[in-house]
Amino acid sequence: AQTVTQSQPEMSVQEAETVTLSCTYDTSENNYYLFWYKQPPSRQMILVIRQEAYKQQNATENRFSVNFQKAAKSFSLKISDSQLGDTAMYFCAFMRGFGNEKLTFGTGTRLTIIP
């Protein structure tokens, strides 16, 4: 079974600063996908970024980027130039490959951006 660990229950950072959220996972699979989801106070879960395990290049989406270390089973999210709208719960999630679309989530990190 897969497990996903987020060791930072809460974080806060000043607006415009950079923040990194940590995530580690455990799996025996070689083909899988990793995701960061954002859940703002409105509760609608939104995909932030995804990474295919077979790709060595780290994924980037505008101000969001990941540091994917496959050997260490680590998948951290970096948010640059943080904005007030980034305030949310952030969940790291794992999905096995081969068309199995079930997601296994971590426990989440509550991020607060301070004006």
Which residues lie near another protein (CB under 8 A)? Answer: 4, 6, 9, 33, 35, 42-45, 47, 50, 91, 93, 95, 97-108
- Give whichever of 19 and 48 is closer to another protein, judged by the CB atom: 48
End-to-end CA distance of the chain: 41
Q: How far is the CB of 99 from another protein (least distance, A)?
A: 5
C-beta separation of 55 from 70 below 8 A: no
Q: How far is the CB of 19 from another protein (least distance, A)?
A: 20
CB of 88 to another protein, least distance (A): 13
Q: How far is the CB of 70 from another protein (least distance, A)?
A: 17
How many CA atoms, within 13 angstroms, populate the side-chain half-sphere of residue 19? 22
Return the structure tokens found at 24.
């580690």
Measured from the CB atom, the residue of 14 and 112 that comes closer to another protein is 112
Residue 39 or 67 having the CB closest to another protein? 39
- Burial code (b: 16+ CB inside 10 Å, e: under 16) for 20-53 equals ebbbbbebeeeebbbbbbbeeeeeeeeebbebeb
| CB nearer to another protein: pick between 4 and 111 | 4
Both tokens assigned to 46 = 């939104």
